[in-house]
């Protein structure tokens, strides 16, 4: 294949700038997994139905399988690998997932966690029913749903109380 079919793009992922050359048709999901080795973002359906590939672009939850890599240029991408602090301290949602056993096989988990972080930030973690509704786009075949709700509830409370402390 000739270089004419590739385009250079720059992706800002988890605070780091990555330069790569990809075909224009490469999705953000495949760019992360196959071109950059960031395999924490999962491919569950590749057609926008399961939520396993959820990442944040400029703080919003986005399905990486329905986003071309080129569309994400110049925007801030956060994947599961970038969620913990630089020193390895887990994000409150990650810690709550572990404590509540909110996963089994772990394959939907990065997407669930990224969705949960956004769900809390969006203000949609006010009740268990609201959490269920706003987390319904992330499928989990192991059936960890009640524990996911518990983890989101716990993390939302922790985040709210740490914000109060900070202010």
Partner 1 sequence: MTVHDVRSRQSDSKRGDSKRGDSKRGDASDGAIFAEAVGGRLSRVDGPAKITGAAKYAVEQQLDGLSHAVLVESTIAAGKVRSIDTAAAQASPGVLLVLTPDNGLRLNTATDWLGTPPPDIPYCPLARDVTFSGQHVAAVVAESFEQAVAAAALVKVAYDETPAIVDLDDPKAGDGIPIDTMTKEWGDAQAAFAAAPVRVCAAYNTPREYQTPMEPHGLIAHWQGDQLTVWEPSQWLDGMARTYAEWFGVPFENVRLVSPYIGGGFGSKAFAYGYGAVAAMAAKMLGRPVKLAVTRPQTFTAYGGRAATRQTVALGADAEGRIQSIVHRGVNETSVDGMWVEPLGSVTSIMYATPNFSSRQNVVRVNTVVPGALRAPGENPSAFGIESAIDELAYEVGIDPLEIRLRNYAEQDPEANKPWSTRQLREAFAAGAEAFGWSKRAPEPRSMRDGNQLIGWGVAAGTYPVRRAYGEAMVRILADGSVEVESSSIDMGQGTYTILAQTAAEVVGVPAENVVVKLGDSRYARAGVTGGSRLAGVMTGAVHKAATAALDQLVGLAISDPNSPFHALQANTLVVANGRIASPRGDGPEVSIAELLGSVGRSQIEAMGDTMPANSTADDRYKNYTTIATALSHTEGDYSRHSWCAHFIEVRVDEDFGTVRVSRVVSALDSGRLYNPKLAESQWKGGIIMGIGQALLEEGIVDRRHGRIVNNNLADYLIATNADIPDIEVISVGIPDPHSSALGGKGVGELGIVGVAPAIANAVFHATGKRVRDLPITLEKLI
Residues binding partner 1 (CB under 8 A): 1-2, 5, 23, 25-26, 30, 33-34, 37-47, 49-50, 52, 79-81, 83-84, 90, 94, 97-99, 101, 103-110, 113, 128, 131-133, 135-149
- Measure the CA–CA gap between 38 and 35, rounded to whole angstroms: 8
Nearer to partner 1, 75 or 145 (CB): 145
For the bound state, the minimum distance from the C-beta of residue 160 to partner 1, rounded and expressed in Å, comes to 21
Compute the least distance from the CB of residue 113 to partner 1, in Å.
6
CA distance 165 to 105: 35
Strand residues in 7-90 grouped as ranges (E): 7-13, 16-22, 54-57, 60-63, 76-78
CB nearer to partner 1: give 35 or 121.
35
Q: How far apart are CA 54 and CA 138, in angstroms?
A: 8
User: Shortest distance, CB of residue 149 to partner 1, whole angstroms?
Assistant: 7
Helices 145-166 and 92-100, interaxial angle, to 10°? 140
As given in the structure block, the two tokens for residue 38 are: 């960031």
| Least Å from the CB of residue 164 to partner 1 | 25
């Amino acid at each position: 294949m000739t270089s004419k079919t590739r385009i250079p793009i720059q992706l800002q992922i988890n605070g780091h700038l990555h330069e790569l050359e990809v075909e224009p048709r490469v999705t953000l999901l495949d760019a992360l997994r196959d071109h950059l080795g960031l395999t924490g973002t999962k491919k569950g359906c590749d057609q926008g139905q399961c939520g396993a590939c959820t990442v944040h672009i400029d703080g919003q939850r986005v399905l990486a399988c329905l986003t071309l890599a080129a569309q994400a240029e110049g925007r801030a991408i956060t994947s599961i690998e970038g969620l913990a602090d630089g020193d390895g301290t887990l994000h409150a949602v990650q810690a709550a997932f572990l404590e509540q056993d909110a996963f089994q096989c772990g394959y939907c988990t990065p997407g669930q966690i990224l969705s949960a972080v956004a769900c809390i930030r969006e203000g949609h973690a006010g009740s268990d029913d609201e959490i269920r509704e706003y987390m319904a786009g992330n499928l989990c075949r192991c059936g960890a749903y009640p524990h996911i709700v518990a983890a989101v509830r716990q993390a939302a409370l922790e985040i709210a109380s740490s914000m109060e402390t900070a202010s």
